[in-house]
Each structure stands twice: as C-alpha cells, then as structure tokens.
Structure 1
Amino acid sequence: MGKVSRKPHVAAIILAGGYGHRFGRDTGKQLVKIVGCPMLSWSIAAFDAVDDVGLIVVVCPEDRMQEYWAQAVDPYSFATPIAMAVAGDTRQESAFNGLEATPSEYEFVALHDGARPLIAPELISHTINMLKGTIDAEGAIVATPAIDTLKVVSSDNVIVGTPDRKAFWNAQTPQVFRSNIYRRAHASALRDGFIGTDDSALIERLGGKVLVVKGTRDNIKLTVPEDYAVLSAVVEKSSRSKHEGE
C-alpha cells in the first residue's frame, strides 16, 4: 500500500553507523536477523508505516552502503522513498550527515536508532502529533520513567546523594524536532565544539522546549548479545498474537 495523498511533513533519519563492537560480531548488528528480517529493516518498516513520514534517510558506513541496501532495503516493498548518507566518526556527526541529506522542504525531522527495531508506528505518530500540536515546543522525544533507585556517586566511589527518581526519565528514540531549530542547533554545536549525548541535548542548550512522550520499556536498543534474546522473544510473541487474531 502507498502513502496517503497529502504531502508528508516529516523526514526520518535512521542512524545505523555503529559497528557493534559491544555486540561481539565482526559484521556488526544492523543486519542481524530477528524473526527472519534484518534488525535495520524492522526500524525502517516502522517509519514506512507512518503517513506523516515522506522520506527515510539511512545513515551507515560508506563501505557497507551497498550491503545494507541489498539486505535491509531492496528485498522489501517499502512505500516511502529511501536515501542513504555516510556515517561520521561520532553519532552526532552521523546525525548531521543525515540532516544534510534531508531536503529543506520537510518541516520536521525524526531521529531514530537503527538498533531499536521494536518501535511501534503508533508511538512514532503520537510523538510527531504531540510536537505538531504544541506550537511553542521545538521537539518531542520518547522516554520512560526511571524505575530503579538512583545514586549520586563521587569520583572515589562514595555515595553522596539519592535523588528523587520521579524527576528522571530514560531517553529513547525517536526524537522529533522542527527542522529549522534542529539545523541551528547543529550549527551552534559545531561552532562551539559541543558534543551532546543525544539529539535533544543540542536543542536544550539553545533554550528550546522539548516535550517527553512516555514510551515502552521494550523499545530497547540492541547493544550487547543478551539483548538479542529479549528482542527476538518480543517480536515472536507479537507475530504470534497477530496471526492468532486474524
């Protein structure tokens, strides 16, 4: 099925530039198969299912572009146009390269980790709509409330405080921003030599208002080998539920 006829306003930038050293495979993790499909394909498919998304930019290592396209894109009938951009030495550089490959006609950009294959299209749409519906906000990110007790620890490994965890959230992706402020934020970070731990940090340092959308704890990022079993189990359970409901 194709996209709806109205003009989409969002470009999705999927960051797939990591080599997955912590995952322990020389071939990386983006093409690791989960229930028969490369992990990267699951992430692409989620954004492909969102009507507001009119372009998907996959950011990956230059020497693996053909491989990624052949295995994660070409075998699938994605309705959304897909482009590729070269990954940088850091996540922030990769995000910037993806932004540079995004035409200025898109009012919003959505950044997502290619290694988070369980993101639901409904949550992507909800995050986009939350930002679109809040005129004075520059961004909206998916996150989950912290559930573990947090400790503030000194450099010599001594606990110096126990903050109220109600104020802390675990940031995930997607993170959606108005394109104009996101471009300015990258230009400012580049000029000042600032490196953020996520995309939202670039907006925050300019005083931008970023909303939090409550996500799900199964929107995990594949980082270490034990994450694979969790991801596979969730996808298999979801697939069985869909088949049983048909």
Structure 2
Amino acid sequence: MYKNQYISVIIAAAGMSNRMGSKINKQFIYLNDKPILAHTVEKFEKCKYVDEIIIVAKEDEINYCKKEIIKRYKFRKVSKIVRGGRERQESVYNGILALDRKTNIVLSHDGARPFVKVKNIIDSIKGAIKYGACVIGTPVKDTIKIVANNKDIDNTPKRDLLWAAQTPQCFKKEIIMEGYRKAIEDKFVGTDDSMLVERLGINVKVIMGNYENIKITTPEDLIIAESILKDRDTIYRNKRFAFQTR
C-alpha cells in the first residue's frame, strides 16, 4: 500500500497561546522531561512510513525551535522549519508550499497534540491512500446544543451523529492543495483543513482516533496531560515489573 508513496507531515506550532496565559509558547512548555512539541514530533519521527516533517513556527521562535527541539532531540526527519502566518490556515499553507516535490500524501497536525498514537498516524495514511481525504476523531460523549446569539437553545443534534475532529488530518497532495487554492480565491477561512476540502464537494472519511489525543490549550489541559503521562508511566512500570518477575 505504501509503495511509491512519499509522505510528509506539517506540524502547526505557530499559535499565540493566548488561552494558556503563559510567558512562553505552549509548544515549548515542558511535560515531564521535554517540551510538548518534542513529544509531538517524536511520534511522527517513530512512524516508519513518514518521510519528512515540516514544522511551522512563529518567525521569532524558528531558531529556538531548531536548537531546543530539533538538534537537542536529534530529530532526523525534520526537513524544514518555516514561518507561520496570522491564522492556522495560513501557517499550514506555508507548510504546503515547502513540501518536497516527491510528496503525494500530506498530513497536518497540531503541535500541541502530543498524545497522538503511531497507530492513529498509520490509520490516517491508509485512509488518505484509500479515500483521498480523512480525519481522525472520536464520537462525542456529551449532549451538544446549538445555541443562538441570545443564548437560547436552538436545537439538539443527535449525539450518535457527532464526532470531535482531531489531527492528523490526511490528504492526497492534489486534494489539499486544491482546497487551499479555492479557499484563497474565495477569501474563506476555516477552522481545520477538512473544511477546505469539504467545500470542494469531496467526501472526507472520519477514522477512529483516541480520547487521549487532546489539544493542549489551557492550564487545565496541562493538568490532564500530566495525568495521562503519569498513567502511561505507571502502566509501563507495572508491565516491566511483571516481565521481570516471571
């Protein structure tokens, strides 16, 4: 399935981090032993099907990213760090413009989603090869309300039809490029890459992700992230102890 496929990942790490209330970009906040962005890049570095990683960073953080993320953790698949834009959409587009000429499958991922699993990445690649466009996501657990401007509930959609979109979102190169071309032409700004492809009338498949794949945005998210890492460490130590005592 992966023969003759050149797979590139664009990691968007140029956000303003306003909701985090931190003096530094949330991508560089440490979780346990390393920055959030390093945790994120590591997952794609480990995926054997990923050929290149492009990081999109704020212009004044590019050198810091090179030194403290790429060089420090010896990531070999990061080919470029490019300047981000005012919006995520502009940032990802800058990443698209920097893709290797050989690229035919493109993944976009949030730098602040460090808990994506390698399996999610592989499933996304498979989905893009098979369907042309896909996103990973999870069925919502809460009842969702559509609320009017005056805060009156307008309607309650059926929960079993609702999914929370995550990243990576994965596309054949020509599809995502056409989505961006059309969005620029129409001066349209979407909240994720899938929206731009949906506007073309192209079907986008949803593939099951994992509930741990949170986007770290607020201080409360950091608490959840630390809990996830702690739980994973406990599971690892218990498995190791069980193996050693056999």
Identical-pair percentage: 32
* 1:152 matched to 2:149: no
* 150-159 or 116-125: bigger deviation: 150-159
More helix by share: 2
Query: Is the CA contact 1:19–1:27 (under 8 Å) kept in the aligned structure 2?
Result: no
| 1:189 aligns with one of 183, 192, 201 | 183
- Opposite residue 94 of structure 2, the aligned amino acid is N
Query: Is the CA contact 2:132–2:172 (under 8 Å) kept in the aligned structure 1?
Result: yes
| 1:45 aligns with one of 39, 42, 46 | 42
- Opposite residue 182 of structure 2, the aligned amino acid is S
Report SS of the residue matched to 2:52.
strand
2:205 match: 211
* 102-111 or 71-80: bigger deviation: 71-80
Distance in 2 of aligned mates of 1:205 and 1:189: 9
Distance in 2 of aligned mates of 1:244 and 1:78: 29
Quote the offset at 1:68 in angstroms: 1.3
| 1:176 aligns with one of 161, 170, 178 | 170
**TM-score computed with the length of structure 2 as normaliser:** 0.92
1:117 match: 114
- Opposite residue 242 of structure 1, the aligned amino acid is Y
Residue pairs, 1:13-52, within 5 angstroms: 13-52=10-49
Residue pairs, 1:51-130, within 5 angstroms: 51-130=48-127
* 1:167 matched to 2:161: yes
Distance in 1 of aligned mates of 2:142 and 2:101: 41
Quote the offset at 1:87 in angstroms: 0.2
Quote the offset at 1:239 in angstroms: 2.8
- Opposite residue 233 of structure 2, the aligned amino acid is S
Deviations 1:51-77 (A, max 9, x none): 111100000011110111111111113
Quote the offset at 1:78 in angstroms: 2.4
Distance in 1 of aligned mates of 2:65 and 2:28: 7
In the alignment, structure 2 segments of 5+ residues that lack a partner are: 241-246
Deviations 1:138-164 (A, max 9, x none): 211011111111222222221222221
Query: Is the CA contact 1:35–1:236 (under 8 Å) kept in the aligned structure 2?
Result: no
* 1:239 matched to 2:236: no
Distance in 1 of aligned mates of 2:67 and 2:226: 22
Quote the offset at 1:7 in angstroms: 6.3
- Opposite residue 16 of structure 1, the aligned amino acid is A
In the alignment, structure 1 segments of 5+ residues that lack a partner are: 1-5
- Opposite residue 196 of structure 1, the aligned amino acid is G
**TM-score computed with the length of structure 1 as normaliser:** 0.92
1:222 match: 216
Query: Is the CA contact 1:8–1:54 (under 8 Å) kept in the aligned structure 2?
Result: no
Quote the offset at 1:200 in angstroms: 0.3
How many residue pairs match? The answer is 238
Query: Is the CA contact 2:13–2:55 (under 8 Å) kept in the aligned structure 1?
Result: yes
Report SS of the residue matched to 1:53.
coil
Query: Is the CA contact 2:127–2:133 (under 8 Å) kept in the aligned structure 1?
Result: no
Distance in 2 of aligned mates of 1:8 and 1:34: 34
Report SS of the residue matched to 2:56.
strand
- Opposite residue 187 of structure 2, the aligned amino acid is G
Quote the offset at 1:190 in angstroms: 0.4
Distance in 2 of aligned mates of 1:26 and 1:11: 31
Distance in 1 of aligned mates of 2:205 and 2:136: 9
- RMSD of Structure 2 on Structure 1 (CA): 1.4
Distance in 2 of aligned mates of 1:220 and 1:138: 25
Change (3 A) 1:122 1:44: same
- Opposite residue 84 of structure 1, the aligned amino acid is I
